[in-house]
Amino acid sequence: MKNFITLIIVIILIVVTANIFQQKLKEGVPQKIQEAQINPAIGHRTKEGGCVAQGPLPDKACTPGAIFLNVTTEEICIKGYARSVRNVPVEIKHKVYKQYGITHHYKGEYEVDHLISLELGGSNDIANLWPEPAEPRPGFHEKDKVENYLHNQVCSGRIPLAEAQKKIANDWLEVFNSAWAN
Each residue's pLDDT tens digit, 48-90: 999 999 889 999 999 999 999 889 999 999 999 999 999 999 9
Higher pLDDT, 26 or 70: 70
Strands 110-114 vs 129-133: parallel, antiparallel or unpaired: antiparallel
Q: Is the peptide bond before 131 cis (omega within 30 degrees of 0)?
A: no
Predicted pLDDT at 135: 87
Predicted pLDDT at 143: 94
Going by C-alpha positions, the residue among 129, 110, 167, 114 that lies closest to residue 48 is 129
Read off the pLDDT of residues 103-162 as tens digits, 9 standing for 90 and up: 998 988 999 999 999 999 999 999 999 999 988 889 888 999 999 999 999 999 999 999
In the chain, the N- to C-terminal Cα span, in Å, equals 69
Domain boundaries, the chain: 41-180
Predicted pLDDT at 108: 86
- The Cα–Cα gap between 149 and 13 comes to 38
pLDDT at 16 over 90: no
- The Cα–Cα gap between 115 and 118 comes to 9
Contact indicator for 71, 37 with CB cutoff of 8 Å: yes
